[in-house]
Amino acid sequence: MDMLADAIDRRTSLPRPLRVLMVASEVAPLARAGGLGDVVHGLARSLGAMGVEVVIVTPLYGITALDSVPQARPWNRPLWTPIGGDVRDVGVLETSIADDVRVCLLDCPPLYARGGIYRDDAGDFADNDMRFAVMCSSALRVAEEIWDGPPDVLHAHDWHGALAVAYARLSDSPEWRNAVSVFTIHNLAFQGLFPIQRAAALGLPESALHNEALRHGDAVNLLKGGIVYADRVTTVSPTYAREMLSPELGCGLDGALRARSGRLFGIVNGIDTQLWDPSRDRAIAARYDAHDMTGRVACKSALEAELGLDPGSDAPLVGVVNHLIPQKGIDILLEALPTLLDEGLRFAIVAVGDGELERALASAAARRPDRVAFRAVFGDPIARRVYAGADLFAMPSRFEPCGLGQQYAMRYGSVPVVSAVGGLADTVEQADDTGAKGTGFLFSQIDPAGLVEAIRRALKVRKDVGAWKRIVRNTMLRDASWEASARRYFAVYRELAGAAPRPSLPPPPPAGEAG
Using alpha carbons only, what angle is made at residue 427 by residues 422 and 429, rounded to the nearest 5 degrees? 110
User: Which residue, 26 or 152, has its beta carbon nearer to ligand GLC?
Assistant: 26
| Gap between the Cα atoms of 128 and 111, Å rounded | 9
Minimum distance of ligand GLC from residue 252's CB (angstroms): 17
Q: Contact region for ligand GLC (CB under 6 A) — 19-27, 33-41, 224-232, 335-343?
A: 33-41
Q: Which amino acid is at 362?
A: A
Minimum distance of ligand GLC from residue 171's CB (angstroms): 28
| Gap between the Cα atoms of 205 and 163, Å rounded | 12
Kindly tell me which residue out of 151, 203, 226, 401 binds ligand GLC, with binding defined by CB under 6 A. 401
What sign does the CA torsion over 271, 273, 279, 280 have? negative
Classified as helix, coil or strand, 287 is: coil
Kindly tell me which residue out of 17, 161, 203, 403 binds ligand GLC, with binding defined by CB under 6 A. 403
| Gap between the Cα atoms of 220 and 206, Å rounded | 11
- Per-residue x/- mask for ligand GLC, residues 256 to 295, rule CB under 6 A? -------------x--------------------------
Kindly tell me which residue out of 199, 404, 471, 476 binds ligand GLC, with binding defined by CB under 6 A. 404
What's the DSSP call for residue 128?
A: H
Q: Contact region for ligand GLC (CB under 6 A) — 35-43, 70-78, 280-288, 503-511?
A: 35-43
Q: Contact region for ligand GLC (CB under 6 A) — 15-23, 31-39, 76-84, 430-438?
A: 31-39
User: Which residue, 186 or 300, has its beta carbon nearer to ligand GLC?
Assistant: 186
Q: How far is CA 405 from the centre of its chain?
A: 11
Kindly tell me which residue out of 402, 417, 421, 486 binds ligand GLC, with binding defined by CB under 6 A. 402
| Gap between the Cα atoms of 383 and 135, Å rounded | 31
User: Which residue, 12 or 406, has its beta carbon nearer to ligand GLC?
Assistant: 406
**Residue ranges of E strands in 284-434:** 317-324, 346-353, 372-375, 392-395, 415-419
Minimum distance of ligand GLC from residue 482's CB (angstroms): 12
Q: Contact region for ligand GLC (CB under 6 A) — 32-40, 172-180, 431-439, 507-515?
A: 32-40
Q: Are 177 and 169 in contact (CB under 8 A)?
A: yes
Minimum distance of ligand GLC from residue 424's CB (angstroms): 9
262: buried, middle or exposed (CB in 10 Å: 19+, 13-18, 0-12)? exposed
Minimum distance of ligand GLC from residue 37's CB (angstroms): 9
* Subset of residues 153 to 192 that bind ligand GLC, contact rule: CB under 6 A: 186-187
Name the residue whose CB lies closest to ligand GLC.
35
Angstrom distances, CA of residue 124 to CA of 63, 134, 376, 426: 16, 17, 20, 32
- Kindly list the residues in this chain that would bind ligand GLC in the complex (CB under 6 A): 34-36, 39, 186-187, 236, 269, 400-404, 423
